[in-house]
Structure 1
Amino acid sequence: MQSGVFTISLDFELHWGGFEKWELNDAKKEYFKNTRALIPSLLLGFQQFEVHVTWATVGLLMHKNKESLLAHVPERKPSYSNEQLSAYNFIQNAGSIGASEKSDPYHFADSLIRLIVDSKYQELASHSFAHYYCNEPGQTTEQFDADCKAICESASAYNSELKSLVFPRNQFNTNYLKVCKKNGIQIVRSNPVDWWWDTSEGTSKESLWKRLNRGADAYFNIGGKTSYGINAILKQEDVYLLPASRLLRPYNLKELFLNQKKINRIKAEMTIAAQNKEFYHLWWHPHNFGLYPEENMKGLNQILQHFRRLSDQYGMISLNMGEIAERLQTNTF
């Protein structure tokens, strides 16, 4: 490799990211409204610093109204043992959804997605159609295949062919890669190597100890090295597995100095990647910025500015997941 690579992938979900556990009360509505208001600023920042980003988007968001959404629902739906995990169960039984993006900005995002696809350096990608959980009991590969087809059809409204995928809740499942390839996916985000990122048994009943270790690693060096060389990008079922490096955790009013420690840790890891000509893959959910939007944007701007310094000093470049797959395929790294 001639230079280090910085990439960002975002899990764009709004309320679909936790419909089974988040009551859509006034506070949560404000949270998602803040999220939506920040997206144009995120896009401007990415363009200003020439940062290439993959927006892994839930397919249910890719619609102007309920009529369009329901028309794209697949016949085969996930048969989770826990029915509460199904977005279709939520639509039918748990309060339903509004008629359109105007009346329900928490479950529709057509206008924002059009802004994303019209923005330079940005990639529209799959986060499954219905926030599909690939490691939860009861569902099948055939149902996941139907979900993949539904989101591909939804993305065609934006003249987009989906090449990249992020598994919801990071429930990475190698048995589903053949289905990904069948539906045009060339690259997926895989999890960091540390044991607390293992999602093979699902995430609905994760232990507190696992969550505590995952959180502590954002601030203190208890995990493994986060940047990696090109040989760490494996290929299975003809799909590239691009490891995640670090979750950008949101600003926390209770953490005081730890907020800056978290940003400094990311910048230090980016520097190592640039110096060693390695990959560094940062990810988060746009809604993570919904509680303290101004403080979160300040932290992100530090990261983006640091990337520009590394670009000037070490020649570090930014690529989204689809662009990384293309270079791997053409051997142009």
Structure 2
Amino acid sequence: MYKASDRAGQGPVKRAVRLVDAYLNLSGHNTYTFDSCIERAPFNFPASSFLRSYDKKLSMLDGLRLRRIKKAMTDAAVNKRVYHLWWHPHNFGKDTARNIEFFRKIAEHYIALKKAHDFRSLNMGELSQLAESHRGAKPRVVPCEATSPGV
């Protein structure tokens, strides 16, 4: 049977691959140069990864999920690229304490990258303002991690 979700590109195989990719690096680090994101308006800051919320059934794999995110963040920091960790606060509504604890580990890694590589964290509004300020000027590479909490 053909479902509407399959028409939208959300079929079971694609969803399974995305799930595995959240834990194991199947698709690469998915980081981007700042220049490539601001080539034309509207700006395109593709998601590097979605911060999946805690799932009791998959909790034994959380170490892999955290390592996957940290390695991509490190790649972005070292290579002065954009890493867009996509999430919204409502994603943490269930199992809030576990989700915040997981995010705390990401934040600690961010702090280490900031100290070592001047990695920057910007929300989507700040990132868009930075992109707008470079409009018409020769773009330069800007290291940043863009998160989108509620934006």
1:199-230 residue CA offsets vs partner (Å, 9 max, x unmatched): 9x536xx3111111111100011113311112
Letter in 1 for 2:24: F
1:17-40 residue CA offsets vs partner (Å, 9 max, x unmatched): xxxxxxxxxxxxxxxxxxxxxxxx
Q: 2:12 aligns with which of 186, 203, 208?
A: 208
Partner of residue 221, structure 1: 25
Q: Which structure has more helix as a fraction of its residues?
A: 2
Q: What is the aligned-residue identity percentage?
A: 36
1:164-222 residue CA offsets vs partner (Å, 9 max, x unmatched): xxxxxxxxxxxxxxxxxxxxxxxxxxxxxxxxxxx9x536xx31111111111000111
Letter in 2 for 1:320: N
SS in 2 for 1:254: helix
SS in 2 for 1:316: coil
Structure 1 residues 208, 327: closer, same or farther in 2, change over 3 A? same
Higher gyration radius (CA): 1
Letter in 2 for 1:230: F
Unaligned 5+ residue runs, structure 1?
1-135, 137-198
Partner of residue 302, structure 1: 105
SS in 2 for 1:219: coil
Letter in 1 for 2:71: A
Structure 1 residues 287, 314: closer, same or farther in 2, change over 3 A? same
Partner of residue 250, structure 1: 53
Contact 2:29 2:75 in 1 (8 A): no
Whole-angstrom CA distance in 2 between matches of 1:325 and 1:256: 35
Give the Å deviation of 1:289.
Answer: 1.8
**TM-score normalised by the chain length of structure 1:** 0.37
Give the Å deviation of 1:235.
Answer: 4.3
Whole-angstrom CA distance in 1 between matches of 2:92 and 2:44: 27
Partner of residue 62, structure 2: 259
1:40-66 residue CA offsets vs partner (Å, 9 max, x unmatched): xxxxxxxxxxxxxxxxxxxxxxxxxxx
Matches within 5 A, 1:41-190: none
Whole-angstrom CA distance in 2 between matches of 1:213 and 1:259: 17
SS in 1 for 2:64: helix
Whole-angstrom CA distance in 1 between matches of 2:74 and 2:91: 24
Q: Does 1:319 align with 2:118?
A: no
Structure 1 residues 308, 254: closer, same or farther in 2, change over 3 A? same
Whole-angstrom CA distance in 1 between matches of 2:13 and 2:110: 33
Contact 2:48 2:83 in 1 (8 A): yes
Give the Å deviation of 1:322.
Answer: 2.0
**TM-score normalised by the chain length of structure 2:** 0.77
Task: List structure 1 segments (4+ residues) > 3 angstroms apart after TM superposition.
Answer: none
SS in 1 for 2:45: strand
SS in 2 for 1:281: strand
Give the Å deviation of 1:231.
Answer: 2.9
Q: Does 1:278 align with 2:81?
A: yes
Whole-angstrom CA distance in 2 between matches of 1:267 and 1:300: 11
How many pairs does the alignment contain?
132
Give the Å deviation of 1:256.
Answer: 3.4
Letter in 2 for 1:243: P
Q: Does 1:268 align with 2:71?
A: yes
Whole-angstrom CA distance in 2 between matches of 1:285 and 1:315: 25
SS in 1 for 2:56: coil
Structure 1 residues 316, 202: closer, same or farther in 2, change over 3 A? same
